[in-house]
């Protein structure tokens, strides 16, 4: 058996309202990246650049800033 038989609660949990707001903001970023593809053409590379930037933000912000990506070694 391990030393910590009881599981401690996560210290930095968000309440429901904050979680919903964060979810909506990330979904808006993601859908904005998809919407920018409607302006894509072979003459204009900027919609693809906007798509990649918004998608990267929609993925990176929850994983690194809001997530617990630095707690992999905790026991």
Q: What is the pLDDT of residues 9-28, one digit of tens each?
A: 656 666 888 889 989 999 99
Average pLDDT over residues 44-73: 84
pTM, 2 dp: 0.69
Confidence band (pLDDT; 50, 70, 90) for 48? Answer: very high
Per 3-state DSSP, the chain is made up of helix, strand and coil in percentages (nearest 5) of 60, 0, 40
Domain ranges of the chain: 30-67
pLDDT for res 11: 61
DSSP letter for 32, please.
H
Distances in Å between the Cα of 45 and the Cα atoms of 30, 31, 33, 66, 68 are 19, 19, 14, 31, 35
Distances in Å between the Cα of 28 and the Cα atoms of 1, 4, 45, 66 are 45, 40, 22, 16
């Amino acid at each position: 058996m391990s030393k910590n038989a009881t599981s401690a609660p996560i210290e930095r949990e968000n309440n429901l309202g904050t979680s919903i707001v964060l979810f909506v903001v990330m979904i808006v970023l993601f859908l904005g990246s998809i919407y920018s593809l409607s302006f894509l053409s072979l003459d204009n590379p900027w919609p693809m650049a906007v798509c990649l930037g918004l998608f990267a933000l929609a993925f990176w912000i929850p994983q690194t800033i809001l997530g617990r990506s630095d707690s992999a070694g905790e026991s």
